[in-house]
């Protein structure tokens, strides 16, 4: 099952760091997201795009996780050669992640 079916996301940038929120549509799915979408899993999902660490913050009362990915923006909005220099589209990339459908 894709994260897109369980949760929504928004990406923001600060310098060369991207943060992406992942918010369950239904708070009942939060535990499942928390178990499946670890910082390690997100780091692996983005592969070479993220050169630094991925740190995860959990806000269970909001059904939300916040992933902070350092070194994800090729120097950040002022320097990056990317078309989407803010990394705004990375939220969609995260939502493409497949997690175990049984749950």
Partner 1 sequence: MADSLRIGAGAGFSGDRIDPAVELAEKGGLDYLVFECLAERTIALAQGVRHADPERGYDPLLHARMRAVLPACVAGGVRIVTNMGAANPVAAASAIRAIARDIGLAPRVAAVTGDDVLEALTALDPELVELGVPLSALGERVMSANAYLGAGPIVEALGMGADIVVTGRAADPALFMAPAIHHFGWAIDDWTRLGRATLAGHLLECGAQITGGYFADPGHKDVPDLARIGFPIGVIDADGGLTIEKVAGSGGRIDAATVTEQLLYEVHDPAAYLQPDVAADFSGVTVTPIGRDRVRVEGADGRPKSGLLKVSVGYHDGFIGEGQISYAGPGAEARGRLALDILAERMGVAGIDCGEVRGDIIGVDSVFEAGPPRRSAGELAEVRIRFAARTGDRRAAERIGEEVDAMYLCGPAGGGGVTRSVREVVAIASAFMPEDRVEPRVALVN
Q: Which residues bind partner 1 (CB under 8 A)?
A: 4-5, 8-10, 12-17, 19, 21, 23, 25, 55, 57, 59, 61-64, 66, 68, 74, 76-79, 81-83
Residues 102, 70: Cα–Cα separation, whole Å: 32
Q: Could you tell me the smallest distance in angstroms from the CB atom of residue 64 to partner 1?
A: 6
* Beta strands across the sheet bearing 54-59: 7-14, 17-24, 64-69, 54-59
**In the complex, minimum distance from the CB of residue 59 to partner 1, in angstroms, rounded to a whole number:** 6
Residue 17 CB, nearest approach to partner 1 (Å): 7
Report the alpha-carbon distance of residue 66 to residue 46 in Å, rounded.
15
């Amino acid at each position: 099952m894709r994260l897109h079916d369980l949760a929504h996301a928004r990406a923001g940038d600060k310098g060369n760091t991207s943060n992406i929120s992942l918010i369950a549509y239904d708070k009942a799915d939060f535990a499942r997201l928390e178990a499946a979408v670890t910082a390690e899993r997100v780091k692996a999902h983005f592969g070479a795009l993220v050169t630094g660490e991925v740190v995860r913050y959990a806000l269970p009362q909001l059904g939300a996780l916040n992933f902070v990915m350092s070194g994800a923006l090729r120097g950040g909005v002022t320097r990056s050669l990317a078309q989407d220099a803010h990394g705004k589209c990375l939220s969609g990339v995260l939502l493409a992640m497949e997690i175990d459908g049984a749950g």
